[in-house]
Amino acid sequence: MRKDLLDLIREAMNQHELARDFYHKMAHLTSHPETRETFAYLEKDAEENKARLHQCLTPKGCPVVPPVHDVHLAEHLKTPAITPDLSPKDALALAIKRSQALVRFYQALAELQAPGEIRSRLEYLAQAELNHKDKLEYLYDNVAFPEVW
């Protein structure tokens, strides 16, 4: 694999490591037990996403990312303030906004590239992050609106 592609995948892995560290810190900042659990879940999820990206560096290659439709929930959420009494709903909103930023980042980088391997990898990273955002939005719907259960 070319060095520029290796660097791209390693940077994406670094972003998930930063996310994992952020969620870990948030889990220890909050006083709300359910929010602590939410951040612990997000921390584990970021670690799993990093591991999936690591597969891209192996002969096996990147795992398949199923297509998902962006429902654009993130655009309707406000980024909550980080406080010790952050609710699980706000913790998920924070994670959704973070994921949305990564989707946009990878999409913007892909648009700057000519068709080819680098553009394909960036589109893959954008799709993988969009899948993660979709998962977070699903969780948010179930936390924010539990009355539908």
Work out the pLDDT band at 5, boundaries 50, 70, 90: confident
Which three-class secondary structure state does DSSP give residue 143?
helix
User: pTM higher than 0.75 for the full model?
Assistant: yes
Q: Could you state, in order of their start, the residue ranges of all structural domains in the chain?
A: 3-148
The answer to whether residues 94 and 75 touch, using CB atoms and an 8 Å cutoff, is no
Give me the CATH topology for the region 3-148: Ferritin (1.20.1260)
Percent of the chain surpassing pLDDT 90: 45
State the average pLDDT over residues 36-55: 91
The answer to whether residues 20 and 47 touch, using CB atoms and an 8 Å cutoff, is yes
State the average pLDDT over residues 131-136: 91
pLDDT at 145: 66
C-alpha–C-alpha distance, residues 27 and 66, integer Å: 30
pLDDT at 149: 43
Note every long-range contact of 5-9, with CB atoms under 8 Å and residues 24 or more positions apart, other chains counting: 5/117, 5/118, 5/121, 6/57, 8/118, 8/121, 8/122, 8/125, 9/53, 9/56, 9/57, 9/121
